[in-house]
Chain A
Amino acid sequence: MREITKLIHKYLRHDKKFPHVWCPGCGNGIILGALIRAIDRLGFTKDEIVLVSGIGCSGRLPVYVDFNTLHTTHGRALAFATGIKLAKPELTVIVIMGDGDAMAIGGNHFIHAARRNVDLTAIIFNNSIYGMTGGQYSPTTPYGMRASTAPYMNIEHDFKISELAVTAGAVFVGRGTVYHARLLDSLIEKALLKKGFGIVEVITHCHVQYGRQNKLGSAVDMMKWQRDNAISVEKAEKLSPEEKRGKIIIGVLVDRELPVYQDEYERIKERAKVSTVRGR
C-alpha cells in the first residue's frame, strides 16, 4: 500500500463517509491533508483529538475523519469547543470554520475566544464567499468583487481574519494558502503545539462560486494566483506598504505568550480554596 493511502486509511472514515461533498478541485481536501499530516507527525492518538466544525463546506470536514467529531451550528463551533475544552482539558480541541462561519454569524465568538485565550486551535478556511449556499458575498469578499447577492460588485469592505485575531489577543496566528501545502503542515503543527488560542487562516479557492462569478479561471488558475501573490512574513518586513498592497502575507504572523484561560481558572480555584480554609 502506498504511504499516502496508509495515512488516509488510518485517519479517514474511508469506508463510511465517502464520496465527500466537496467539488472537484476544491482546496478543502488539501487543508484536510495538512491537518492529518500535522496530527500524525505530532504523534497524537485519535482519541486525544476533538474536531469541532460549524456550517458550510468546511463544516463537512470532521465528518470524514476518525477522531472525536462534532458538526455544530452555524458560527457557534468555538462556543461548543470552549465547553469541551473546559470540561476535558486533556483533549486537543481543533475548531474548523469558514469565513462566513467565523467572521459573520460567529464573529462575536471568534473575538471573544481570542480575547479569553482558551487553549483551542482554530483553522479558518477563507475562500471569500459562502460556497455551500450558492456564492453569496461574505465578510471576507473583497470590495468590488462579485457574488450572487452582489451581481455588479460588493460595496462592503472585507475583514482581515489574521489581523483581527492578532488584535483580539490570539497567541498564535499563522496564515497560509492551499498552494503552499508544506507551509500549511508546519503552521498547523505549530498552532497545535501552542498553548492558548491559536489560529491558522488558510487562503483557499472556491473556483465554482467565487472564481466563476469573478472570472478567475479554474482551480489551477486560482492556485497559481496564490503562488504569485503570496509573500513570506520575512520578505514583507522589508517592503513598503505600497509594495505589500494586494499581497497575501504568509507564515507566522504572531507567536507570543499571554496568560491562558485554563491556567488562570486553576489559579483562581486555588485562591478560593485558601480563602475558604481561612474562613473568609
Chain B
Amino acid sequence: MRKVLTGNQAVAYGVFLSRAEVISAYPITPQTTIMENLAELWADGVLEAKFLRVESEHSAMASIIGASMVGARTFTATSSQGLALMHEMLHWAAGARLPIVMVNVNRALGAPWNIWSDQTDSLSQRDTGWIQLYCENNQEVLDTIIQAYMIAETVSIPVMVVLDAFFLSHTSEVVEIPEGGEVEKFLPPYRPRYRLDVNDPHSFNLMVSPDYYQEFRYKIQMAMEEAKVVAEEVDGRFAKVFSRGYGLVEDYLCDEAELILVTTGTVTSTSRQVISQLRQKGQRVGLLKIKMFRPFPVQEVRAHLKGVQKVAVIDRNISFGCGGIFAQEIKAALCDQGERPQVFSFVTGLGGRDITPSVISEVIEYTRRNDRPEKEVIWVGMRG
C-alpha cells in the first residue's frame, strides 16, 4: 500500500507493523507527532499496545526498560534535550542488554534554544552502547524500524533509529507500507532468552565486583561486532522480501572516483543530485552514505575509500575542541591503512541551516582545489 507520509508518520507505521507492546514517551518538538500518531492508533484499537505518557524522558526510558525486562517489545521516541535527559537510562538499557528500539529526531541542543536539525544530540550518545542507524528518507525510516527490532532482538543491544528534524519528521513523501502479514513473517514475536519471570526467578543487574564487571563490558563489545554482521544479514533478508535494502553504507557513482563525498541523513539526497550533475560534466566524484554509526562500519568504509585520493566529509554536528564527528570516525578508520586518502572535514548545517546544492558544490570544489585542507575543520555556509 502506498501512502503519503511524514517521517514521523512513517515511524508510527513502522512501530505499528513491528507490533510494539509497550510504548512510553514525553512530548518534545519535533518528535511529538510520532507519539500522537501512535496514541491514535492505540486509542482506535488498531495498535494493541500499552501506551504511557510519563512525566519526563528519563521516566519514558525507565518505564520501557521495565517493560522490556519482562519480555515486551518496546518503543519510545525523543529528541535533543529529551535524549540528553535520558542519558543515564541509555547506558542502563544497553548494560541490561535490552532490545529496545527508540527513534531520535535529530534536533539541536541548547543553549541557545533551537528546535531544528542537528546531529549532535544523538552523536553525543556515542558511548552508551546503543546501535545507531541514520536515515535518508521516510521510506528508509519505516523500513529501518522493522529491521531495528530484528537486529536488537538478535544481538540483545538497543537500537536508536535517527532522522532529521523537519527535513524528514515533518515532510511528506510517498512511502510503500509493507503488508502486516509479510512483516509478521519477517519479524516474529519477541521471545527473550532471559526475562523477569515469577515462574523462573532470577536476579538482574546486581552489583558486580571488579572481578566480573570487565567481562560484562567485553560481551557488549562482542555483541556490537556481531551486530554489524547481523545488520547486513537482516538488511539482505529484508531486501529479498520487500525489494528494498540499504546496507551499513551505500556507495553512489563511486566507480573510478578520485574524490568521494561522505554524508549522512538527508544531506545525502541533495548530494546525490550534485554528484550526478558533476559526473555528467566528467568529474570523477562519488558519494558514500553512512547509515550505521555504532557499531562503526570500519571495514566497509576502508573498502569503499581504498584507492581514492581525497575524501570530503560533511558533518551536521560538532564535537567542540575536535571537529566533525563522522570525519573523526573516518580518519580513525583510515589512519593505519598504508595508502590512504586525504580527508577533508567540513562542518555546516548546524541548528537547521540549509545545506543547499551550492554548499555541497563549494565543499567539493574546495576539496578539488586543495591538496590538503588548510585547517583541521572547515566551516562552510557561515554568515557574511
A-to-B contact residues, CB < 8 Å: 55, 71, 73-75, 100, 103-105, 107, 130, 132-134, 136-137, 139, 148-152
Closest Cβ of chain B: how far from A149's Cβ, in Å? 4
Mark contacts of B16-51 with chain A using CB atoms, 8 A cut-off: 1 yes-contact digit, 0 otherwise: 000000000011110011011001100110000001
B53 touches A137 (CB 8 A): yes
Measured CA separation A148–B57 after assembly (Å): 18
**A130 neighbours in B (Cβ, 8 Å):** 27
| Number of A-B contacts defined by CB within 8 Å | 51
A134 touches B33 (CB 8 A): yes
Let me know if B56 is at the binding interface, CB within 8 A. Answer: yes
B56 touches A104 (CB 8 A): yes
**B55 neighbours in A (Cβ, 8 Å):** 103-105, 107, 139
A75 contacts which of B33, B51, B56 (Cβ < 8 Å)?
Answer: B56
Measured CA separation A8–B91 after assembly (Å): 49
**B39 neighbours in A (Cβ, 8 Å):** 148-151
Closest Cβ of chain A: how far from B246's Cβ, in Å? 31
Closest Cβ of chain B: how far from A5's Cβ, in Å? 29
Let me know if B81 is at the binding interface, CB within 8 A. Answer: yes
B110 contacts which of A73, A134, A136, A151 (Cβ < 8 Å)?
Answer: A73
B53 touches A74 (CB 8 A): no
Closest Cβ of chain B: how far from A186's Cβ, in Å? 32
B43 contacts which of A71, A104, A139, A151 (Cβ < 8 Å)?
Answer: A151
**B51 neighbours in A (Cβ, 8 Å):** 149
Mark contacts of B324-360 with chain A using CB atoms, 8 A cut-off: 1 yes-contact digit, 0 otherwise: 0000000000000000000000000000000000000
B32 touches A71 (CB 8 A): no
Closest Cβ of chain B: how far from A52's Cβ, in Å? 13
Q: Give B53's nearest chain A residue, CB to CB.
A: A149
Measured CA separation A100–B32 after assembly (Å): 14
**B36 neighbours in A (Cβ, 8 Å):** 134, 136, 148-149
Q: A107-B55, A151-B39 are in contact. List 12 more A-B contacts (CB 8 A).
A: A55-B81, A73-B81, A74-B81, A104-B56, A130-B27, A132-B29, A134-B32, A136-B32, A136-B36, A149-B36, A149-B53, A151-B43
Closest Cβ of chain A: how far from B56's Cβ, in Å? 4
Given A74-B81, A151-B40, A152-B43, answer yes or no on A136-B35 (Cβ-Cβ < 8 Å).
Answer: yes
Measured CA separation A107–B54 after assembly (Å): 12
Measured CA separation A185–B113 after assembly (Å): 30
Q: Give B84's nearest chain A residue, CB to CB.
A: A73
A–B complex contacts, Cβ < 8 Å, 29 sampled: A55-B81, A73-B81, A74-B28, A74-B81, A75-B56, A104-B55, A105-B26, A105-B55, A107-B55, A132-B29, A133-B28, A133-B29, A133-B32, A134-B27, A134-B32, A134-B33, A136-B27, A136-B32, A136-B35, A136-B36, A136-B53, A137-B53, A139-B55, A148-B36, A149-B35, A149-B51, A149-B53, A151-B40, A151-B44
Closest Cβ of chain B: how far from A102's Cβ, in Å? 11
Closest Cβ of chain B: how far from A255's Cβ, in Å? 30
**B110 neighbours in A (Cβ, 8 Å):** 73
Q: Give A151's nearest chain B residue, CB to CB.
A: B43
**B53 neighbours in A (Cβ, 8 Å):** 136-137, 149-150
Q: Give B27's nearest chain A residue, CB to CB.
A: A133
B-to-A contact residues, CB < 8 Å: 26-29, 32-33, 35-36, 39-40, 43-44, 51, 53, 55-57, 81, 85, 110, 113
B113 touches A71 (CB 8 A): yes
**A105 neighbours in B (Cβ, 8 Å):** 26, 55-57, 85
Measured CA separation A161–B85 after assembly (Å): 24
**B85 neighbours in A (Cβ, 8 Å):** 105
Closest Cβ of chain A: how far from B12's Cβ, in Å? 13
**A107 neighbours in B (Cβ, 8 Å):** 55
Closest Cβ of chain A: how far from B79's Cβ, in Å? 11
**B81 neighbours in A (Cβ, 8 Å):** 55, 73-74
Q: Give B31's nearest chain A residue, CB to CB.
A: A133
| Closest A-B pairs by Cβ, 3 of them | A104-B55, A133-B27, A105-B56
**B29 neighbours in A (Cβ, 8 Å):** 132-133
Measured CA separation A74–B26 after assembly (Å): 11
Closest Cβ of chain B: how far from A157's Cβ, in Å? 14
Measured CA separation A130–B25 after assembly (Å): 13
**A75 neighbours in B (Cβ, 8 Å):** 56
Measured CA separation A133–B81 after assembly (Å): 14
Measured CA separation A74–B109 after assembly (Å): 12
**A150 neighbours in B (Cβ, 8 Å):** 39, 43, 53
**A74 neighbours in B (Cβ, 8 Å):** 28, 81
**A100 neighbours in B (Cβ, 8 Å):** 27
Measured CA separation A69–B299 after assembly (Å): 51
Measured CA separation A139–B59 after assembly (Å): 14
**A73 neighbours in B (Cβ, 8 Å):** 81, 110
**A71 neighbours in B (Cβ, 8 Å):** 113
**B44 neighbours in A (Cβ, 8 Å):** 151
Q: Give A134's nearest chain B residue, CB to CB.
A: B32
Q: Give A107's nearest chain B residue, CB to CB.
A: B55
Closest Cβ of chain B: how far from A81's Cβ, in Å? 16
Measured CA separation A152–B35 after assembly (Å): 15
**A136 neighbours in B (Cβ, 8 Å):** 27, 32, 35-36, 53
Measured CA separation A100–B53 after assembly (Å): 12
Closest Cβ of chain A: how far from B77's Cβ, in Å? 13
Measured CA separation A75–B58 after assembly (Å): 12
Measured CA separation A132–B29 after assembly (Å): 9
Measured CA separation A107–B51 after assembly (Å): 21
Closest Cβ of chain A: how far from B27's Cβ, in Å? 4
Closest Cβ of chain B: how far from A21's Cβ, in Å? 12
Q: Give B37's nearest chain A residue, CB to CB.
A: A148
**A103 neighbours in B (Cβ, 8 Å):** 55
Q: Give A152's nearest chain B residue, CB to CB.
A: B43
Scoring B26, B28, B35, B53 by chain A CB atoms within 10 A of each residue's CB, the highest score goes to: B53
Measured CA separation A133–B28 after assembly (Å): 6
Scoring A55, A107, A152 by chain B CB atoms within 10 A of each residue's CB, the highest score goes to: A55
Measured CA separation A204–B160 after assembly (Å): 38
Closest Cβ of chain A: how far from B210's Cβ, in Å? 33
